[in-house]
Structure 1
Amino acid sequence: MSRFYLHLLRLAGFLPILAVAAGLKRPTNICQRIDARIPGRISYPGDSIYNDSQSSYYTAQERDLSPGCIFRPRKTSEVSQFVMLINADGRESNASYSTPQFAIRGGGHTLFTGAANIAGGITVDMRAMDSLVLSQDRKIASVGGGAIWSHIYSQLVPYNLTVLGGRVPGIAVGGFVTGGGVNFLSRRHGWSCDNIYGYEVVLASGEIIYATANSHPDLWLALKGGSNNFGIVTRFDVATFPQGLMWGGVIRYNYTKSVLDAQAQAFSDFMDPKNFDDAADMGIILGFQNPGGVFSIANSLWYAKPIVNPPTYQSFTSIPSLVPNTFSINNVSNLVLQFGKILPPHLARSFQLVYSFKNSAAALYSELIQVWENGTKGIAHIEGLQLQFLIQPQPPTNGTNSLGLTPGATDVVMSVITAAYTNAADDNVVRNAIRAIVDQHVAILRTEGLYNPFQYLNYADISQDPIGSYGPAIKARLHAVSRNYDPDGLFQTAVPGGFKLFR
């Protein structure tokens, strides 16, 4: 009986939970086996490498989980050996459902518990696989599966090149690309996953394959939005783009009705297809902070050319603002590092929800902002509360992905509401408040015929269903790819973190 079938029986309640618990007692033994076969790659609680890995997660929800050991591979062959050892341990236990549980992590920026870490199991920390190799014509960058984008950018500056990676420091290639990926240049070139030539992948059997549009095209397409459901990607061959200096930064305003109204009108106009400028990427950032009970508003404005205050942003930059702003002309690497300075390096508790919709008149944005403001007041007392409502363009796509989006659409908006706070005791109150705000937003958008069911996986909470939002046909195709390359369901059952296909 396959481990995948046994997993379905567990979900249906036909197997005791004790079987799952028993599986989580096995990592000490399997960690020792891995350490013996692949020496120098395993660290245990109390080791400095283990502690550094644990402390580097973005949220406390992930930092609070304690794996039995951490595996840090440096080569694809070591990842392959690891997967084969996991399979062998499951077989030797004479019980498929007790195959050791493991998590796969890159930058560790996903907010929710268990996304890229695991209690009692094995965490595969990919960050030592951080290579960068340019093709001879410099049109393709081969990037290691655990590389950090903000490290990659600096290496490409001497060539006046860039890649479509994360917009803040510390984001790793793996989860970012397999979930979609939004970049400063995404209005011009699409999602990050739209621009991948090939993936080197370790399958559930331990086999290493290279998936492209011509070789294993079903897997190549599935990895463009299908997350960690098909294997461990150890190398991404990504498109490079010419990019010298560009302009960008953050501008802040007083939080007043006149400013909010002006922002609503400016964003509505910016998102009108007749005003589309593929060099422009921006966001409206509404905030609230306790202590202080202070509302705030800012714009992050980016332009892919070295033009100060480009005309496309005139309606934003003409709004009376606070000084100073952080605008400068610089390379991508330095702008990413500069943007990161305004963000907290770590969070305690955090929760966020994402949704998307079609652009409309300014009145719609004013209504959404008012709902957010009213909902915020209900949790303003929460200790350490930092609440953010981000409104930004959703990238157009060329359609070479599994996201289920209409190719070429330039008038779709993506919003995410994020809460950070201090105490786990406030989890339910905060989460219910954010859900209530988003539910009201979605109800308004549905009434206006503007709601788009797509949920961006890299912004989604585990309570959402981003893969389901791609549509039933694509989800069925992803199921077929999973059964083809992972017939026993290793990545559905032994890797519990993230968004699973069969949920």
Structure 2
Amino acid sequence: MLLTRSLESLAAISLVSGVMADSAGSSGHQGAAGACALLQQKVPHIVHFPGTLEYLTNIDHYEEVATQDSACGVTPKMVEDVRIIIRTVGRDDVRSPFAIKSGGHALNPGFSSTLGVQISLQNFLDFEYDSKAQTVRLGSAWTWDAVYEKLQPENVTVVGARISGVGMGVLFGGGFSWYTNQHGLAVDNVIAFDLVLPNGTYVNVKQNSHPDLYFGLRGGLNNFGIVTGATLRTWPSGRIWGGNIEYSINHKDQVIKAVEEFSMNNKDEKAQLEATYTVTSKRAFWQVLFFYDAPVASPIPFRRFLSIPSTKDTTKITTHSQLVKDSKFPPVIGSYFHTVPIIHYTARILDVVEKTINASYAKSLVDERSAGVFYWIAEPFFNHYSHISYPSAFPHSTSNPTTPSCFWFNYTSPRDVEYFRQLIKDAGTEVQKAVVQEGQGHWDDVKYPNYAVKGTAVEEVYGKSLDRMRALKARIDRKDVMGLQGEGFLI
């Protein structure tokens, strides 16, 4: 992606960056220029400017639209570098916009990119597996599929992302996993964080040493400092059964009924799936990605799905690492996630989803917009909120066991960024009406922060955690250094 962008795409990205620049104001530009100059003096070996390959690597994101033309990029190599960077951008006479990138998979423009100082954690590749303690310490540069592959010879894994290429940022928003039914969310499996506070102080955050920070980092995104690493629990992991099955739209009623039955009745913690309704310019179809945590062909919880005629079937006995590695999507120009919290996926909800996604796609064509592929993903977890040891900023409770259904709309022109943001929000509202009517959710249910679209109110993302988070923020970041990021569900 990095070296193959067309001149037309780059021009369009510059157009989007220009719009953001207008909203940022001249003070932000002056602060960024000042910060870059100071950093060049203090840590010249990690500062990169436009016109170099290092700079392009630093600012690059999974999506072209999420990539911005930063004033400079910095690639810290150690905690001391991070301390210098955050103290510099936060100086009273500088106040530079900045953004933090680990894997670069954030789809919302501005959430991990900036016109100011782009901080890339690409050098933090610490990896320390402790078989006795059953933990692993990871630097923030790791992607989850690479972690799974490195742990596989030890026959263990961690609770993390389900898609290839996704970085450690998942930890800060909750983190649903193929192992969530059995072991909880990623935030439920973090033992410690390596954190540089907004004032440049380094702390090792644990529940017993810094309970408020431990609460805030687990679901509170980038509100409390820069995380350079984390220590997680490991779990046994052997051979599994999984893969993807595609179904013709002619069998949609059978697929919908199978999803409903699985959502309502599954009680096997080893069984998990993602059921995706997909619309392209040529066709619409359902596909289901399966995971079963044992080397068992045709697992009983999936028998109904396996009896439906399919057009493609990649299921096999494999490993967790390989399943995630195979679950990848090509880079795109731009796209948005959004989410509606759902407890159970009834047939009526799924029918409304189909009609809503179809109508959204048709509207974008009538409006002559650059629609790519539209997806909607059902994620029917079971027992997923029963593994909580301590409260977290992402409020999840057994009393309201919602799951994060995911809308994913792709588009091919950066000029349509705002159009598709509004389109996906409207689609979410339409589906949520059906969810509430079916008794499978409420209007005020918290939206999963890793999926919530840009512009979602922080009250909708953090819910009852917000007051405690704001009190923590006021105590550790009195100068609102983290607010210089500009975007990212900041409080």
The match for 1:58 is 62
Conservation of the 8 A alpha-carbon contact between 2:108 and 2:336 = yes
3-state SS of 1:378 partner? helix
CA contact (8 A) 1:43 1:71 kept: yes
Q: TM-score, normalised by structure 1?
A: 0.87
Q: Number of residues paired by the alignment?
A: 462
CA–CA distance in structure 1, aligned partners of residues 297 and 450 of structure 2: 31
Q: Following the alignment from structure 1 to structure 2, what is the Cα–Cα distance between the partners of residues 143 and 77?
A: 18
Q: Secondary structure at the match of 2:44?
A: coil
Q: What residue is the counterpart of 1:415 in the other structure?
A: 405
| Aligned-partner residue type, residue 123 of structure 2 | A
CA contact under 8 A between 1:467 and 1:499: conserved in structure 2? no
In structure 1, the partner of 2:17 is: none
Task: For 2:31 and 2:488, locate their aligned partners in 1 and report how far apart those are by CA, in whole Å.
Answer: 22
1:36 aligned residue: 41
Map 1:141-290 to 2 at 5 A. Answer: 141-173=136-168, 175-256=169-250, 259-272=251-264, 274-290=265-281
What residue is the counterpart of 2:466 in the other structure? 475
Q: Match of 2:340?
A: 355
Match of 2:455 among 463, 468, 482: 463
Q: In structure 2, do the counterparts of structure 1 residues 136 and 36 end up closer, same or farther at CA, with 3 Å as the change threshold?
A: farther
Kept after mapping to 1: 8 A contact 2:98/2:485: yes
Q: Would the alpha carbon gap of residues 136 and 425 (structure 1) be closer, same or farther in structure 2, given more than 3 Å must change?
A: closer
- Distance across 2 between alignment mates of 1:358 and 1:405: 12
Partner SS state of residue 327, structure 2 = helix
| C-alpha contact (below 8 Å) 1:127/1:148 kept by paired residues | no
Per the TM alignment, residue 332 of structure 1 is displaced from its structure 2 partner at its CA by 2.0
**In the alignment, what sits opposite 1:499?**
489
In structure 2, give the amino acid aligned to 1:449. G
SS in 1 for 2:66: helix
Quote the sequence identity (%). Answer: 23
Residue 236 (structure 1) shift:
0.3
| Superposed displacement of residue 124, structure 1 | 0.5
SS in 2 for 1:61: coil
The equivalences for 1:280-429 within 5 A come to 280-290=271-281, 292=282, 294-323=283-312, 325-340=313-328, 343-344=329-330, 346-359=331-344, 361-380=346-365, 382-394=369-381, 396-397=384-385, 398-399=387-388, 400=390, 401-407=392-398, 412-429=402-419
Task: List gaps (5 residues or longer) in structure 2.
Answer: 1-21
Does the CA-based 8 Å contact 2:160-2:186 persist in structure 1? yes
**Closer/same/farther in 2, CA of residues 48 and 379 from structure 1, 3 Å limit:** same
Structure-2 change in CA distance of 1:462 and 1:28 (3 Å): same
- Alpha-carbon offset, residue 454 of structure 1: 1.9
Q: For residue 23 of structure 1, report the CA deviation from its aligned partner.
A: 2.9
Please tell me the residue identity of whatever aligns with 1:420.
Answer: N
Structure 2 match to 1:13:
none
User: Structure 1: which 5+ residue stretches go unaligned?
Assistant: 1-16
In 1: Cα distance, 2:482 partner to 2:277 partner: 38
Question: Is the Cα contact below 8 Å between 1:455 and 1:466 reproduced in 2?
Answer: no
Does the C-alpha gap of structure 1 residues 275 and 35 become closer, same or farther in structure 2, counting only changes over 3 Å?
A: same
* Cα distance per residue 1:395-441 (max 9 Å; x no partner): 7123332222223766x332221111112343454344333322211
Q: CA deviation at 1:18?
A: 9.9
User: 1:174-197: CA deviations, max 9, x gaps?
Assistant: x21011111111111111011100
Amino acid at match of 1:71: V
Q: Are residues 1:70 and 2:65 paired? A: no
Which secondary structure does the structure 2 equivalent of 1:107 belong to? coil
Query: Shift in Å at residue 390 of structure 1?
Result: 0.9
Decide whether the 8 Å contact of 2:189 with 2:232 is kept in 1: yes
TM-score by length of 2: 0.89
| CA deviations over 1:439-469 (Å, ceiling 9, x no partner) | 2111222233322412111111112135534
